[in-house]
Amino acid sequence: MTPARLLLSALTLSLAASSCSIFHRHRDAAPPVVETVRTPDSPTPPTAARDLADAMTTVLHLRPDQTSKVRQVLSSTVEQVNSARQQYPAQSPQLNAALARINTSSDKQLRTILGPTTYHEMQVKRTQIQAEMQRR
């Protein structure tokens, strides 16, 4: 065997014996995490309503019945917002009007569910609720 062939053979064997990914695929390794980039006109994921309700429950110490009602209101709000975003062009006056109407309705429902004291506390602790959502 020529010295070049011997060297190539030894190099191939050492790579095969090592953990080189060319020779050893890690089948049990978790797939890489792919983060999606959301744009302002991207649909809001349905999990956002659940996450916000959970954050509100943690920060405002909501009762279980309040949490379930808040979750229903927020889920409905997400559905309505996503529907409006499909129906109207981004940044259009029609979309802005629809979003304002949806937000006003959602806000009234939350005010009724939470009561005046907890609703005011929600407004005061808005940044804390957002931080709790980011933490999740």
Q: Which residue has the higher pLDDT, 16 or 48?
A: 48
On average, the pLDDT of the chain sits at: 82
Q: Are 129 and 52 in contact (CB under 8 A)?
A: yes
- pLDDT reported for residue 77: 96
To 5 degrees, how large is the angle CA 125–CA 131–CA 136?
Answer: 130
Asked whether the predicted pLDDT for residue 135 surpasses 90, the reply is: no
Summarize pLDDT for 87-130 with one digit per residue, the tens. 999 999 999 999 999 999 999 999 999 999 999 999 999 999 99
List the chain domain ranges.
47-135
Assigned token pair, 58: 């943690």
- pLDDT reported for residue 8: 45
The arithmetic mean of pLDDT across residues 43-53, rounded, is 88
Segment among 25-39, 60-74, 108-122 with least mean pLDDT:
25-39
- Give the CA distances from residue 45 to residues 5, 22, 30, 34, 36, in Å, rounded to whole numbers and listed in that order: 58, 38, 24, 16, 12
The arithmetic mean of pLDDT across residues 73-90, rounded, is 95
The arithmetic mean of pLDDT across residues 51-67, rounded, is 96
Q: What is the Cα–Cα distance from 102 to 21, expressed in whole angstroms?
A: 52
The arithmetic mean of pLDDT across residues 32-47, rounded, is 69
Q: Are 59 and 129 in contact (CB under 8 A)?
A: yes
